[in-house]
Structure 1
Amino acid sequence: MKKFIPVLLLAFALLPVLAQAQNNQQSREELERKKRELQKEMDEAQAMLRETKKTSKESLGQLRALRNKIDVRSRMIRNINEEINFINGDINTALRDVKTLQKDLDTLKQQYAQLIVAAYKNRSSYAMLNFVFSADSFNDAIKRYQYLKQYREFRRRQADNIIQTQEQLKQKVKNLESQRVKRSETLKTEQSERATLEKDRKEKDEVVAKLKGREKELQQDIEAKKRAQKKVQDAIRLAIRKEIEDARRKAEAEELARKKAAEAERKRKEEERRRAAAAAAEAAKNNASAPVAAATPAPPPPAKEPEREAPAKPARVLNVLEASPEAAALSDNFEANRGRLPWPVESGLILGYFGTQKDADNIKITVVNDGLIFGTRKGAPVKAVFEGTVKRVFSISGAGYVMLLQHGQYFTNYVGIQSPSVKAGDHVRTGQVLGTARTNEDESMGVVEVHIYKGASLQNANNWFKLR
């Protein structure tokens, strides 16, 4: 058992090192994944900015696209800095390895030199034979011979170790140089990204300055959009109220039919019991009028009381929208995906968040949004963010098509769809295309707004979607 203790101690000592190596590997993979995602976001941001620049004058959409591009580039720079930190760690590790290998190589060379000197002093074959045959016994002679063999083998291994250590040292030095070159290139990339970031910020400041001179015009546009938004709000709430009322009527009709069926069943059983009682009375009357037999017949067994039905287990019904188990399960699944709902567009950016939004660059503009507003390329497909049933598809002047989907007691509402590809009554799956994004001429891009309702209560959409 004692011989295993050093091995166990070595294993425990290596555990933190192995764990750290695994964590570093995972961190590197996560860093590379973020790098790929950020590059994809940057490509999308640049494409969106090119679209917004096609308009004849600056717009809030162009300002949003610039802000999005600046945000993505800032995150890219942070990612590059994390990569530089990893490279610096690799260089420091490589330097330590090179020093250790160099020290080992010097030690091996020194030991090998000592072996060579000893071998030179005892190079005579006569000295070797004299060493063997001067033993006191045959066994001792055998041991001396084996010692000489082991000595020669050890000297050969020392020479091999020197060669291997030299090769390892060369490889470590090569890797070190490679890491230094990589760090130099990454630093150049970081500096280039910072220079581009400054250009983006200057461009954004120029757009802000021009927009500030058009605040009155922009405010008029926003007021017009508010009036259109009010129409959309009223239409959506009316549609949801109708859905709730229809569900309530359906539930009441089903409950009334259930009660009628239960009452009919009760009357049927009551009639059966009455007939059974009448038949028993008639049989007793006939027995009374018949001649008395030698033995008095046993009285008829008492009639059994009707068995009471066990009370049904109450179903989970929070409201009329969850009257069926399927609807309740759909509600639960929808709730379980809070904060993880996918975007309704494949690529793009968020133009507006839920609630009151004040401009970050001191433009005197305040916007109130009922949901999340997504910007995407013109004609891009709009997809369902969760499985459900299409309840309403209707058009509103100035807003395009509005599509209402039900998910148990929840509703998702899509504003700004053109060319709908589904109709009321269709059951759609997550990610299924509902139509295309309506082109917003002011933003020069496709725009769709998504609202979330729980019953008739508007929800904070910021808390439901997977945000970047």
Structure 2
Amino acid sequence: MKLHKLVFILFLSVFAFSAIAQTESQLRRKKEAIQREIEQLQKNLNKAASGKKLTLQQINTINAQIRLRQEKIGTINSEIKNLDNQISQNTNTVHTLQGQLGELKKEYAGMIRFAQRNRNSYDKMMFVFASRDFNQAYKRIKYLQQFSQYRKKQAGYIENTQQDLNGKIKVLDKTLREKSELLREQEKERERLGKDKNQQSAVLGKLSKQEKQFAQDIASRRRQQKQIDAAISAAIQRAIEAAKRKAAEEARIAAAKRAAEEKAAAERAKAENRPAPAATKAPVVREKTTSEALTATPEAARLSAGFEGNRGRLPWPVATGTVTERFGLHKVDQASYTNDGIDITTADGAAVRAVFAGKVLLVQYIQGRGVVIIMHGEYITVYQNLRNVSVSTGSNVDTKQTIGVVANTGDDAILKFQVRRGNAVLNPEAWISK
């Protein structure tokens, strides 16, 4: 029973260690990915630092860097928590093994003392010959044999338990060293976060001196974006109206066909001198909603369902990048503006990819920058700020198919990405993978 208990404890220990190791690996990969994003943003900041004029991109980059630094510290905290759990589990296992080892040694010592007292072959023979009958003599011989075998097994158990104990102590020491390293890394990241926040304060101080120029830049950005958003909305509205007209035309053709069939049936009844069948009441044809119109065909309905089913799992529109401006209202000093999508800072010359299969609704260059709109049934994705475009209006695209190359805006290559349902804007971060 003690042996079974020991094996069960070791099994649980190995299982728990495997689960913790898997989590540690995931956290380590996440931390490394965050660090790569931070380093890329720092490169962009270093390039922009030589410029005397403060830009909105610089502010967004600093804010994104602070956010990523905080996320990295949170990941380190999770790693430390995992190590604390592992240390606790290994400490409990060590104590259990020490207890089991003590009991095994105690039992083994008792057997050694018994064997010492009965080490003489004459004593063993007397023990056997003192039996009442042959059956008891046979059992005593088997007992002596089994006792010898059990003593050897007990010695093996002690040796194996000692090895397991030494191994667990080594793992415990290694885990404690890893925790110390993580605590040092955490302290360094806190120092860097403090420097980032100081840099943020310095930038905001610089912003107050350039307030007038900065407000003009934001106003110019709003005007440019308004023109682009108007073109996007107009294209989507045209697609919605075309879908509704097509649905209405199909309903009209179906009604005309039904009326013609009823007229033919009435004429046949008249020719055959029998009562004409009662005319059916024409159904009330209502205008389809936007969702119904955009998913009227089986293909469009399938694309819509597929897009919606992949919420939170859609691939990014670029292979690598960082969200440096999020969805919604933004306020910088006294100025404010709204982003209907997200801005993703990526590498120069990065390929832009369709996040899902669909049909290209529009390719248009506005102020020298390419805009691509792709329909996925009732869902629509918008890719803005492309240097060149490799698809055309009306063409079909597959998931992750390259549709162009992102343009460099100022010091950074930034893709502006939107997700819409009809003409309603949605937060893209809720749709792309984490």
Please give the range of the TM-score, normalised by the shorter of the 2 chains: 0.7 to 0.9
**Aligned residue among 328, 331, 351 for 1:381:** 351
**Residues 257-406 of structure 1 mapped to structure 2, 5 A cutoff:** 257-277=253-273, 303=274, 318-319=289-290, 320-359=293-332, 363-397=333-367, 400-406=369-375
Give unpaired runs (5+ residues) of structure 2.
none
Give unpaired runs (5+ residues) of structure 1.
1-5, 278-302
> Higher mean Cα deviation, 102-111 or 386-395?
102-111
AA aligned to 1:394 is: Q
**Residues 165-314 of structure 1 mapped to structure 2, 5 A cutoff:** 165-277=161-273, 303=274
AA aligned to 1:138 is: F
Q: For 1:369 and 1:176, locate their aligned partners in 2 and report how far apart those are by CA, in whole Å.
A: 50
The reply to whether residue 122 of structure 1 matches residue 88 of structure 2 is no
The count of corresponding residues between Structure 1 and Structure 2 is 424
CA RMSD of aligned residues (A): 3.5
**Change in 2 beyond 3 A, CA 1:166/1:376:** closer
**Change in 2 beyond 3 A, CA 1:229/1:92:** closer
Equivalent position SS for 2:319: coil
Q: For 1:328 and 1:305, locate their aligned partners in 2 and report how far apart those are by CA, in whole Å.
A: 40
Q: For 1:204 and 1:126, locate their aligned partners in 2 and report how far apart those are by CA, in whole Å.
A: 92
**Change in 2 beyond 3 A, CA 1:70/1:305:** same
Q: For 1:54 and 1:235, locate their aligned partners in 2 and report how far apart those are by CA, in whole Å.
A: 33
TM-score, normalising length from structure 1? 0.78
The reply to whether residue 465 of structure 1 matches residue 424 of structure 2 is no
**Change in 2 beyond 3 A, CA 1:207/1:100:** same
Equivalent position SS for 2:349: coil
Q: For 1:120 and 1:323, locate their aligned partners in 2 and report how far apart those are by CA, in whole Å.
A: 93
Contact 1:348/1:374 (8 A) holds in 2? yes
The reply to whether residue 63 of structure 1 matches residue 59 of structure 2 is yes
Q: For 1:117 and 1:23, locate their aligned partners in 2 and report how far apart those are by CA, in whole Å.
A: 40
**Change in 2 beyond 3 A, CA 1:99/1:411:** closer
Deviation track 1:157-186 (CA, whole Å, cap 9, x = no partner) reads 333333333323322332232223333333
Alpha-carbon distance, 1:423 to partner? 0.9
Q: For 1:463 and 1:103, locate their aligned partners in 2 and report how far apart those are by CA, in whole Å.
A: 53
Alpha-carbon distance, 1:142 to partner? 2.7
Q: For 1:195 and 1:439, locate their aligned partners in 2 and report how far apart those are by CA, in whole Å.
A: 32
AA aligned to 1:219 is: A
1:289 corresponds in structure 2 to none
Q: For 1:429 and 1:21, locate their aligned partners in 2 and report how far apart those are by CA, in whole Å.
A: 44
Alpha-carbon distance, 1:440 to partner? 0.8
Q: For 2:19 and 2:126, locate their aligned partners in 1 and report how far apart those are by CA, in whole Å.
A: 63
**Residues 104-143 of structure 1 mapped to structure 2, 5 A cutoff:** 104-143=100-139
**Aligned residue among 29, 37, 56 for 2:30:** 37
Identical residues among aligned pairs (%) = 33
AA aligned to 1:231 is: Q
Alpha-carbon distance, 1:222 to partner? 0.5
**Aligned residue among 387, 395, 401 for 1:432:** 401
1:449 corresponds in structure 2 to 416
Alpha-carbon distance, 1:225 to partner? 0.9
Equivalent position SS for 2:92: helix
Q: For 1:132 and 1:91, locate their aligned partners in 2 and report how far apart those are by CA, in whole Å.
A: 53
Q: For 2:164 and 2:311, locate their aligned partners in 1 and report how far apart those are by CA, in whole Å.
A: 53
Q: For 2:22 and 2:31, locate their aligned partners in 1 and report how far apart those are by CA, in whole Å.
A: 14
> Higher mean Cα deviation, 60-69 or 26-35?
26-35
Q: For 1:367 and 1:24, locate their aligned partners in 2 and report how far apart those are by CA, in whole Å.
A: 50
Tell which structure's C-alpha radius of gyration is larger. 1
Deviation track 1:33-61 (CA, whole Å, cap 9, x = no partner) reads 23313312321332133124323234332
AA aligned to 2:403 is: L
**Change in 2 beyond 3 A, CA 1:74/1:110:** same
Equivalent position SS for 1:222: helix
Alpha-carbon distance, 1:263 to partner? 4.1
Q: For 1:335 and 1:422, locate their aligned partners in 2 and report how far apart those are by CA, in whole Å.
A: 24
